[in-house]
Amino acid sequence: MPPPPRLAAIAAVFAAIGLQSWGGGMSAWIRREVVVRRGWMDERSFLVGLTLCQIAPGPNGINLAVLIGTALRGGPGALAALLGMVGLPAVLVVALGAGLAALHDQPWLGPTMAGLGAAAVGLTLANAFDLNRRNVRTAGGLAITAVTAVAIGLFRLPLLAVLAVVVPVSLLLAARGPTR
């Protein structure tokens, strides 16, 4: 097991993520940096942590930063990740907000913001496809993924209603064992 990263490295990684993640896709950035690029955490541990953070109240990215910081270096790691994630980005967002308020009537601002939103959606979809490809190995799992995506994405059904149906079905499929 490699030694845990330095607190400054944890803070720097999460500051970079906080500065680069606009409008969504933060879990994709975190996974790329923590699992893929740095190897601070394995894929399975990350997915378990991500699941817990999505269930817990609060912003997923902040929850995930605190969880990963805690896993890497305990309380000081959690604080480093949290401050990295929200410190400098918060200052920058306030400054950008003031700048955008001054530029609200510029014709290029709307298309620029739409492009940033599209990039966030694309990153989130790429992460979802990559995670599915690596982790969903059965026909039942693929079916659950497809039904969930269609129900929420196309039919705009409420998340909790969809989860109330697909979670028990997923658990039943998992209890039956792997099938192809």
Sorting pLDDT into bands at 50, 70 and 90, what band is 22? Answer: low
Torsion of CA 31, 51, 47, 172, to 10 degrees: -150
177, amino acid identity = G
- The predicted model scores a pTM of 0.58
What tokens were used for 27?
A: 């879990």
Q: What is the pLDDT of residues 28-70, one digit of tens each?
A: 889 999 999 999 999 999 999 999 998 888 888 999 999 999 9
59-94 burial, b at 16+ Cβ within 10 Å, e below that, comes to ebbbbbbbbbbbbbbeeebbbbbbbbbbebbeeeee
Sequence-separated (6 or more) residues with CB below 8 Å from residue 123 = 24, 25, 28, 29
CA distances from 126 to 30, 115, 122 (A): 14, 16, 6
